[in-house]
Structure 1
Amino acid sequence: MATVAERLDVDPARLWAGSVLALLVALIGGSLLFPRTVYDGFVWHFFWGPVQADANAAVCAVRQGGTTRYLYDAAACSAAAEPVAYPGYTLVSEVGYVVILLVALSGLVFLLRRLGIGSDRDLFFSLLPFVFFGGALRVVEDVTDAAADPLIGYPLNTLIISPVIYFTVFAITLLVLLASVSLARQGVIDRYTRPLAAGGTLVLVVTLLFLLWSAIAPDGPGTFYPQVLVVILVGATASAAGTWVLIEQYAPGINAGTGRLGFVVIWGHAVDGVANVVGLDWMVALGAGPNLVPKHPVNRAIVEITASTLPQSVLALTGDTWPFLVVKLVAATLVVWLFDEQIFEESPQYAILLMIAILAVGLGPGTRDMLRATIGV
């Protein structure tokens, strides 16, 4: 079947750029012409408002008359007139970010093809440190919120708050990628993937050192709970390994196309699942402070369903978050199954980038929850 670009006889990259530009013009134009409906009621309500509320450590943010107010009382937020934005995600915003992600991935495919890179799987493993870096960088904002004198204040802290942090990490990764490709083309290094992985490792280590300092410094805002880190990593590795063994034994065709990439994806989502289970149910039992609160709609829904379905005697032993780990493992396995060998043969750059994106939406938040619980912020 002919693609849209082929039917219109237009270069696919040009068609993509034109479509993105048209969408931006429509969104910006609508915000200018109908600010209360388009901007306040949609853009601000579901996307920018939650970021502002989070950045100002408010219970919610309220948009009235073209201005934003921050409320720090739950009752006041409940009584406020819409639009009201709460920190975190909504189903509308999550769908919107998925669309943005897919559009961005398409643009990246055109860029990689123009650069003549990304057709081998080394790119996946070279970008892995940046996925950890994104989750760790998000905890920096959590640390500044907990500090008596925040190092990063509003509006600069919005750069490291979800979902803006994804654009921040993307920009850093893209700069390192372009620099690595330039070094390879100049003959300074043999392969661009080596400085790319080194750059990601460098920013990750710097971020982790800052977080460690915040947890062990006498006047730091955090407290170091190494037992949380150990439990999450061991639990995630064990659950991912168990899932992989079952796949290899009973359905080896699931990972025929992905190989090692598939295991990394399942492990990344296992980290997210176990971090939620530990953070929401077992912090007190581990002697690591109070349990965390779920921020994502899916997490909250699973917790509510489990709590209303299972007897209290069972919940007292298991907690109400463990189904989230099961959902993550099943979903990751299904995604791995979709990536057969044909996808990698027809469009290797897109397949690899999509695998990275799928890993990032699990391992990124999982790393954030794991580190946040580990340093008690």
Structure 2
Amino acid sequence: MAFPETDRERAWTAVVLAAVGALVVGSLVLRDTVYGGFVWHYFWGPVYADAQGAHCAVWNGGNVQLLYESATCRAASEPVAYPGYTLVSEVGYAVTLLVSLVGVSFLLDHLEIGESMQFLYSLFPFVLLGGALRVVEDANNAAEVAAGAEPFIGYPLNSLIISPVIYFVMFAITLAAVVVAIYLARRTDVVEDGYRLLAGIGTVLLAATVGFLGYLAVTTDYVEFHPIFTVLTLGLATVVTVLVWLPVRRYLPSIAAGTPLAGALVLWGHAVDGVANVVGLDWAKELGLRADLVPKHPLNAAVVDITQDVLPASVIQLTGDAWPFLVVKVVAVIFVLSLFDEELREEAPRYTTLMLLAVLAVGLGPGSRDMLRATFAI
């Protein structure tokens, strides 16, 4: 079925094609500068190094060299790509996300879904699924470094669950689930509520992924099971949400007016991220792991570094150095939620739902990954 295209959609398509075209042409004409120094350095290089289990990857005029020692990486000439995120890549992903949300909102307009907050709630399991799949990749890396163990997912297949490729994979999975659920709800008598079916599909996929991690914990030496991390993270995140959201609704009602229930869910998702970092970075060893986890994002690492510079060592020994990240997350998400007033909800309901989903995902996605990393000692 063909959908009529609006002027806004044509403009969006033109902007996206122009940006992609500029990157493609620049990569062909100025290969070392545009592709090697930007696209590869900040986006594909980290994926390639991660997928190969290397400490870093070095670009040398189109010849990529994998290095497996930190000292060798430090001595290498730029551009050098390390597994994980950088500030440049995170900004790039954020811009890509915002542009993509506009395109998805057009699609939802044509499908005539997404106005209700039920759509947000039905996609909640898919947000957790993204974090769980990243832990599967972490487990795959753990298998690679374990003595005598073979990775259960080899290259290039493992790159599908490494950022940023996993974002596109999760988008495809989620879109397929949405289309199937809506089609069955509208065209058959088997399904009455498409949103419930959508949530059910996500829940089954999530349970299968976490179940696979549990299987690895039982059958391998490089994955363990420490449920205390999940219990503490979810429990403390719930306490933080209640202690923050109830006073906000009572004393600052304008902030919660547009998102009374959805706002609590978004806050909870970011509280999970904050608590998972505090528990994993500061108290993992005390709770049974061999060592504390390390931050996976530049913002987490920056907050830890600033805390170490500001607070004396005697205080950090008692409180840890990751707790300010939880404070930053809570304050930031309350500010963002204040932008979702009732007027915005009425004027652009679908885009509002998508934006709330995006805000939830950037908190709960990495938060669930950190929680499960600690739970399975990866």
The separation in 2 between residues aligned to 1:249 and 1:20, in whole angstroms, is: 43
Deviations 1:290-334 (A, max 9, x none): 101112111111101100111111100000000000000111111
The separation in 1 between residues aligned to 2:134 and 2:221, in whole angstroms, is: 17
Question: Hey, what does 2:146 align to over in structure 1?
Answer: none
The separation in 2 between residues aligned to 1:212 and 1:295, in whole angstroms, is: 23
Question: Hey, what does 2:73 align to over in structure 1?
Answer: 77
Question: Hey, what does 1:140 align to over in structure 2?
Answer: 136
- Displacement of 1:337 in angstroms is 1.0
2:94 to 87, 92, 98: 98
Describe how 1:172-183 pairs up with structure 2 within 5 A: 172-183=173-184
Cα contact 1:132–1:364 (8 A) shared by 2: yes
- Displacement of 1:221 in angstroms is 2.5
Where 1:317 maps in the other structure, the secondary structure is helix
Structure 1 unaligned blocks of 5 or more: 1-8
Question: Hey, what does 2:195 align to over in structure 1?
Answer: 193
The separation in 1 between residues aligned to 2:249 and 2:38, in whole angstroms, is: 46
Where 1:338 maps in the other structure, the secondary structure is coil
Question: Hey, what does 1:271 align to over in structure 2?
Answer: 272
Question: Hey, what does 1:50 align to over in structure 2?
Answer: 46
Q: Name the aligned partner's letter for residue 342 of structure 1.
A: E
Q: Name the aligned partner's letter for residue 276 of structure 1.
A: N
Where 1:228 maps in the other structure, the secondary structure is helix
Where 2:59 maps in the other structure, the secondary structure is strand
Q: Does 1:39 align with 2:35?
A: yes
Q: Does 1:118 align with 2:114?
A: yes
Question: Hey, what does 1:212 align to over in structure 2?
Answer: 214
The separation in 1 between residues aligned to 2:6 and 2:135, in whole angstroms, is: 44
The separation in 2 between residues aligned to 1:222 and 1:50, in whole angstroms, is: 24
Cα contact 1:213–1:220 (8 A) shared by 2: no
Cα contact 1:62–1:84 (8 A) shared by 2: yes
Structure 2 unaligned blocks of 5 or more: 144-148
Question: Hey, what does 2:243 align to over in structure 1?
Answer: 242
- Displacement of 1:197 in angstroms is 0.9
The separation in 1 between residues aligned to 2:206 and 2:222, in whole angstroms, is: 20
Deviations 1:137-189 (A, max 9, x none): 11011111112111111111111012211111111000011111211221332
Describe how 1:212-231 pairs up with structure 2 within 5 A: 212-217=214-219, 219-231=220-232
Question: Hey, what does 1:14 align to over in structure 2?
Answer: 10
Deviations 1:13-63 (A, max 9, x none): 122112211211111111111111110011001111111111112111101
Q: Name the aligned partner's letter for residue 332 of structure 2.
A: A
Q: Name the aligned partner's letter for residue 128 of structure 1.
A: F
Q: Name the aligned partner's letter for residue 293 of structure 2.
A: L
Cα contact 1:136–1:371 (8 A) shared by 2: yes
Alignment CA distance shift 1:10-1:173 (3 Å): closer
Question: Hey, what does 1:376 align to over in structure 2?
Answer: 377
- Displacement of 1:220 in angstroms is 4.6
Q: Name the aligned partner's letter for residue 75 of structure 2.
A: A
Q: Name the aligned partner's letter for residue 259 of structure 2.
A: T
Q: TM-score, normalized by length of structure 2? A: 0.95
Q: Name the aligned partner's letter for residue 232 of structure 1.
A: T
Question: Hey, what does 1:292 align to over in structure 2?
Answer: 293
Question: Hey, what does 2:154 align to over in structure 1?
Answer: 153
Question: Hey, what does 2:356 align to over in structure 1?
Answer: 355
Percent identity over paired residues: 56
Alignment CA distance shift 1:10-1:263 (3 Å): closer
Cα contact 1:51–1:162 (8 A) shared by 2: yes
Q: Does 1:25 align with 2:21?
A: yes
Q: Does 1:170 align with 2:166?
A: no
| Runs of 4+ with >3 A deviation | none
Q: Does 1:87 align with 2:89?
A: no
Describe how 1:310-325 pairs up with structure 2 within 5 A: 310-325=311-326
Where 1:81 maps in the other structure, the secondary structure is coil
The separation in 1 between residues aligned to 2:290 and 2:247, in whole angstroms, is: 35
Deviations 1:236-294 (A, max 9, x none): 11111111122123212211101110000000000000000111110111122210111
Deviates further, 84-93 or 219-228:
219-228
Q: Name the aligned partner's letter for residue 112 of structure 1.
A: L
The separation in 1 between residues aligned to 2:274 and 2:25, in whole angstroms, is: 41
1:66 to 42, 59, 62: 62
Cα contact 1:232–1:274 (8 A) shared by 2: yes
Q: How many matched pairs?
A: 368
Question: Hey, what does 2:303 align to over in structure 1?
Answer: 302
Where 2:123 maps in the other structure, the secondary structure is helix
Where 2:338 maps in the other structure, the secondary structure is helix
The separation in 2 between residues aligned to 1:35 and 1:65, in whole angstroms, is: 8
Deviates further, 145-154 or 168-177:
145-154
Deviations 1:339-366 (A, max 9, x none): 0011111111100001001100000000
Deviates further, 354-363 or 280-289:
280-289
Question: Hey, what does 1:4 align to over in structure 2?
Answer: none
- Displacement of 1:10 in angstroms is 6.3
Deviates further, 357-366 or 222-231:
222-231
